[in-house]
């Protein structure tokens, strides 16, 4: 590593001194959203263009300094903050936040990596289109981070993860070169799919600076229903009925456990959580209809009538207005906030075949309760695509900080071993980051890990791109 002062001077020449931060409180960039880790940075640099990003990478490569790309810093796997060494440069893409172009005929939009997801949704809506990626952090997360972690959210069931929405990328490589791949083509069979390679790589292979993304027509109507169900198996049965009755119109299917909803009721009583007191599980469904609201409501009514007849729904409400629908979704999105209010907790982001989820939940709940007296399980998530946030809260009268410190590894091992027995994945949409890097070798094929390391070394031989995340070299 060369003299840090020389690197800082070079970075200031690239972006201007005002956009190289090395003094004062940098915690917004060096601490993760959950406040699990507080790192230290040599500097935070805030480029305004892809050319500046490329120049920054070349300067850091020459100095032997590693980079940590960062968007909204809302990730849950601690993959976007520096380590404790004070030698890394955080490359914040927040200034690169423009929507560059919208092609109505091609149904695409091109946005820079620092564009906030909600701003992109609104730009699409203003033009009469839908950009369907939707998640709780959409008011602060950025497109670059969404793609780097292959974010999921509440509409994966219909539209897929961030990877499925991405047609092209602009990327700065670990050598400081620019790949201009923003074509927006739906068919381009000219070799390896580099777009898919960089999406989900968590900044370890290159820096995404812009993306061309798919748009969809706005639905004529979007209706939301909230149903109480007697068991997780009943929720899976309801999902099958929803597929049958709604087809492609089924755009959301969320499951929420009674304790999870109880936390929302406890900490945000003004949200008025419906139907949860007498049901172990509730389900939130969304029907996006391209015909009319009357048609959509008729579909919902027939679905719920069948579900009542089969006993997989015990009670239900259908939102009568957009405001009511938003209120129901706000309850679902408030579960993580309510859990944070309750105290420190152990989070899991797992995926399992939908058909096996009821058995997994029953078996893993029993194992945790046997291992930890009084353990509380905050179970919710995207049942429609097999993704659960299977979170573990400390016993009510226990010391939450001590529980996290003393029992986290035990709890993680128990949950991940159970996930493996059921043929699932220990990360569905949050990524690996640094939290799961040491766990990955226990649950990922050695051949897969070898291939991943080969790709990392091939694209980033000096290991300057977010080192120590996903795979260790």
SS3 350: strand
Mean pLDDT over 172-182 rounds to 98
Query: Angle 258-267/335-342 helices, nearest 10 degrees?
Result: 70
Q: Is the model's pLDDT at 36 over the cut of 90? A: no
The per-residue pLDDT for range 253-302, each reduced to its tens digit, is 999 999 999 999 999 999 999 999 999 999 999 999 888 888 989 999 99
Closest CA to 251 of 260, 261, 243: 243
Q: Do residues 348 and 365 make contact, with C-beta atoms less than 8 angstroms apart? A: no
Report the pLDDT value the prediction gives residue 473, as an integer from 0 to 100.
Answer: 85
Can you tell me the distance from the alpha carbon of 382 to that of 160, in angstroms, rounded to the nearest whole number? 12
Can you tell me the distance from the alpha carbon of 473 to that of 466, in angstroms, rounded to the nearest whole number? 12
Q: Is the model's pLDDT at 361 over the cut of 80? A: yes
Q: Is the model's pLDDT at 137 over the cut of 90? A: no
Mean pLDDT over 354-360 rounds to 97
Q: Is the model's pLDDT at 400 over the cut of 90? A: no
The single residue listed with the structure tokens 């004062």 is 24
Residue 11: CB partners within 8 Å, gap ≥ 6?
A: 20, 43, 45, 56, 59, 89
Closest CA to 376 of 278, 261, 275: 261
Q: What token pair was written down for 180?
A: 């201009």
Domains of the chain: 4-92 (3.30.43.10), 99-217 (3.30.465.10), 221-336 (3.30.70.2190), 343-421 (3.30.70.2740)
Predicted structure pTM score: 0.92
Report the pLDDT value the prediction gives residue 205, as an integer from 0 to 100.
Answer: 98
The per-residue pLDDT for range 190-240, each reduced to its tens digit, is 999 999 999 999 999 999 999 999 999 999 989 999 999 999 999 999 999
Please state, for a pLDDT cut of 90, what percent of the chain lies above it: 88
SS3 83: coil
Q: Is the model's pLDDT at 338 over the cut of 90? A: yes
The per-residue pLDDT for range 401-413, each reduced to its tens digit, is 899 889 999 999 9
Mean pLDDT over 83-111 rounds to 97
Residue 398 confidence class, pLDDT cut points 50, 70, 90: confident
Alpha carbon of 137 to those of 76, 77, 117, 330: distances in Å? Answer: 11, 14, 9, 12
- Size (the chain), residues: 473
The per-residue pLDDT for range 74-93, each reduced to its tens digit, is 888 888 999 999 999 999 99
Q: Which of 7-11, 31-35, 37-41, 198-202 has the lowest mean pLDDT?
A: 31-35
Report the pLDDT value the prediction gives residue 201, as an integer from 0 to 100.
Answer: 96
DSSP characters over 176-221: S-EEEE----S---SSS-HHHHHTTSTTSSEEEEEEEEE-EEPPSE
Report the pLDDT value the prediction gives residue 308, as an integer from 0 to 100.
Answer: 96
Can you tell me the distance from the alpha carbon of 215 to that of 372, in angstroms, rounded to the nearest whole number? 47
Q: Is the model's pLDDT at 2 over the cut of 80? A: no
Report the pLDDT value the prediction gives residue 50, as an integer from 0 to 100.
Answer: 98
Q: Is the model's pLDDT at 131 over the cut of 90? A: yes
Please state, for a pLDDT cut of 70, what percent of the chain lies above it: 100
The per-residue pLDDT for range 293-304, each reduced to its tens digit, is 889 899 999 999
Q: Is the model's pLDDT at 397 over the cut of 90? A: no
Report the pLDDT value the prediction gives residue 184, as an integer from 0 to 100.
Answer: 93
What does the mean pLDDT of the chain come to?
95
The per-residue pLDDT for range 411-464, each reduced to its tens digit, is 999 999 999 999 999 999 999 998 899 999 999 999 999 999 999 999 999 999
Q: Is the model's pLDDT at 1 over the cut of 70? A: no
């Amino acid at each position: 590593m060369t003299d840090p002062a020389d690197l800082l001077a070079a970075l200031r020449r690239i972006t201007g001194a005002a956009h190289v931060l090395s003094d004062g409180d940098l915690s917004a960039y060096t601490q993760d959203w959950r406040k699990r880790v507080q790192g230290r940075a040599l500097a935070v640099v805030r480029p305004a263009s892809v050319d500046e990003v490329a120049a920054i990478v070349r300067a850091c490569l020459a100095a032997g300094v590693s980079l940590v790309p960062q968007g909204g810093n809302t990730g849950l796997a601690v993959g976007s903050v520096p380590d404790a060494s004070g030698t890394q440069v955080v490359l914040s893409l927040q200034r690169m936040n423009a929507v560059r172009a919208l092609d109505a005929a091609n149904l695409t939009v091109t946005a820079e990596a620092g564009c906030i997801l909600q701003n992109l949704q609104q730009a699409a809506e203003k033009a009469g289109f839908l950009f369907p990626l939707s998640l709780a952090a959409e008011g602060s997360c950025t497109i670059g981070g969404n793609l780097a972690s292959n974010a999921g959210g509440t509409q994966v069931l219909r539209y897929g993860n961030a990877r499925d929405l991405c047609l092209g990328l602009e990327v700065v490589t670990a050598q400081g070169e620019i790949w201009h791949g923003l074509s927006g083509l739906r068919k381009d069979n000219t070799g390896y799919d580099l777009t898919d390679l960089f999406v989900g790589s968590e900044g370890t292979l290159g820096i995404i600076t812009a993306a061309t993304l798919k748009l969809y027509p706005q639905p004529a109507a979007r209706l939301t229903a909230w149903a109480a169900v007697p068991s997780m198996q009943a929720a899976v049965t309801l999902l099958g009925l929803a597929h049958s009755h709604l087809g492609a119109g089924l755009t959301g299917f969320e499951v929420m456990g009674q304790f999870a909803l109880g936390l929302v009721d406890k900490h945000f009583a003004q949200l008025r959580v419906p139907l949860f007191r007498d049901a172990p599980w509730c389900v939130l469904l969304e029907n996006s209809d391209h015909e009319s609201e009357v048609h959509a409501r008729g579909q919902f009514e027939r679905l719920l009538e069948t579900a009542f007849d089969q006993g997989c729904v015990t009670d239900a409400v259908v939102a009568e207005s957009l405001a009511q629908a938003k209120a129901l979704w706000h309850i679902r999105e408030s579960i993580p906030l309510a859990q944070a209010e309750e105290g420190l907790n152990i989070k899991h982001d797992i995926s399992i075949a939908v058909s096996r989820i009821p058995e997994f939940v029953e078996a893993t709940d029993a194992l945790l309760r046997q291992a930890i007296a009084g353990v509380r399980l905050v179970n919710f998530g995207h049942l429609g695509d097999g993704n659960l946030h299977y979170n573990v809260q400390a016993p009510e009268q226990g010391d939450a900080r001590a529980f996290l410190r003393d029992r986290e590894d035990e709890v993680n091992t128990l949950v991940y071993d159970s996930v493996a027995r059921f043929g699932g994945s220990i990360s569905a949409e949050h990524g690996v980051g640094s939290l799961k890097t040491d766990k990955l070798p226990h649950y990922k094929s050695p051949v897969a890990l070898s291939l991943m390391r080969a790709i990392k070394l091939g694209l980033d031989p000096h290991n300057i791109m977010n080192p120590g995340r996903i795979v260790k070299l």
